């Protein structure tokens, strides 16, 4: 007898038009889910996904995007809060505005998105929330006080949700990538890239697909008993942290 056809879930990936988010969206599409992605322009998601416009710093744009996704695909059952930015500067030079804008996108932006999908997950007594953090949130990194603060804050969100809603079939986890080959890391100088590479036990950066497969597992039925966890995908860089 062949395996039963898996249920098609309504999946939303923020920042799914490029980089890690795009690979995550492609992985869910491969697994047969109904996938929507946000981008700020409203364009550029992978083929087969619904692309909607949203800026995670703007609650009204998220309201409109989520309404559009739910009208097309039904209530969101899997949320991957992936949209994120860096604005690296040493602490002495980092202004309030830089700190606040990175927090507003990476941390408050994830909160805003979670807040808008959680009610329907509670009603269904089923849901998967995956927050894309970073090894930097645990390990620290010079020039990234703003980014590290935003990424460690996501762990608090996942763990508080787990305690609030763990009994309702909802899991909330953090995936913490190390250095992944995307535009975000391609911007780093060659020198910096090779010094990072030498610190990574695996000796290389990862492809975005390597993160995507872990996210898809954490969002699967097989991971129903994993919640409040921080799952590293970092080639060993952050081990012990």
Q: Which residues bind ligand NAP (CB under 6 A)?
A: 14-15, 17-21, 38-41, 54-57, 82-85, 105, 109, 132, 134, 177, 179-180, 182-185
Closest CA to 159 of 181, 138, 177, 174: 174
Which residue number is nearest to ligand NAP in terms of Cβ? 19
Q: In terms of residues, how long is the chain?
A: 241
Give dist(CA 121, CA 119) in Å, integer.
Answer: 5
Q: Cβ of residue 119: shortest distance to ligand NAP, in angstroms?
A: 21
* Closest distance of CB 90 from ligand NAP, Å: 19
Cβ proximity to ligand NAP: between 54 and 170 the closer is 54
> CA 168, 12, 178 angle in degrees (round to 5)?
95
Nearer to ligand NAP, 52 or 161 (CB): 52
Q: Give the shortest CB-64-to-ligand NAP separation in angstroms.
A: 13
147 part of the active site: yes
How far apart are CB 2 and ligand NAP at their closest, in Å? 36
Q: How far is CA 29 from CA 13, 78, 98, 227, in A?
A: 11, 13, 35, 23
Q: Which is nearer to ligand NAP, 165 or 211 (CB)?
A: 211
Please tell me the distance from the alpha carbon of residue 10 to that of residue 133, in angstroms, as a whole number: 22
> If DSSP codes are grouped into helix, strand and coil, which group holds residue 230?
strand
CB nearer to ligand NAP: pick between 120 and 185: 185
Q: What distance in Å separates the CA atoms of residue 13 and residue 11, rounded to the nearest whole number? A: 7
Which residues does the annotation mark as catalytic? 147
């Amino acid at each position: 007898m062949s395996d039963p056809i898996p249920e098609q879930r309504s999946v939303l990936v923020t920042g799914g038009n490029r980089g890690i988010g795009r690979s995550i969206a492609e992985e869910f599409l491969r697994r047969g889910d109904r996938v929507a992605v946000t981008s700020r322009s409203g364009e550029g998601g992978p083929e087969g996904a619904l692309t909607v416009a949203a800026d995670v710093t703007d609650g009204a744009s998220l309201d409109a995007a989520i309404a559009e996704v739910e009208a097309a695909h039904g209530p969101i059952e899997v949320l991957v809060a992936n949209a994120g930015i860096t604005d690296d500067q040493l602490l002495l030079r980092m202004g309030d505005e830089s700190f606040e804008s990175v927090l507003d996108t990476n941390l408050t932006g994830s909160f805003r998105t979670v807040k808008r999908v959680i009610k329907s997950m509670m009603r269904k007594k089923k849901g998967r929330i995956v927050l894309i953090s970073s090894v930097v949130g645990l390990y620290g990194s010079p020039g990234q006080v703003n980014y590290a603060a935003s990424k460690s804050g996501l762990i608090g969100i996942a763990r508080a949700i787990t305690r609030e809603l763990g009994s309702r079939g909802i899991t909330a986890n953090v995936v913490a990538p190390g250095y992944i080959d995307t535009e975000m890391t391609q911007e780093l100088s060659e020198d910096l890239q090779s010094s990072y590479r030498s610190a990574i036990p695996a000796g290389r950066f990862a492809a975005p697909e390597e993160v995507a497969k872990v996210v898809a597992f954490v969002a699967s039925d097989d991971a129903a008993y994993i919640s409040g966890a921080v799952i590293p995908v970092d080639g060993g860089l952050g081990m012990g942290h």
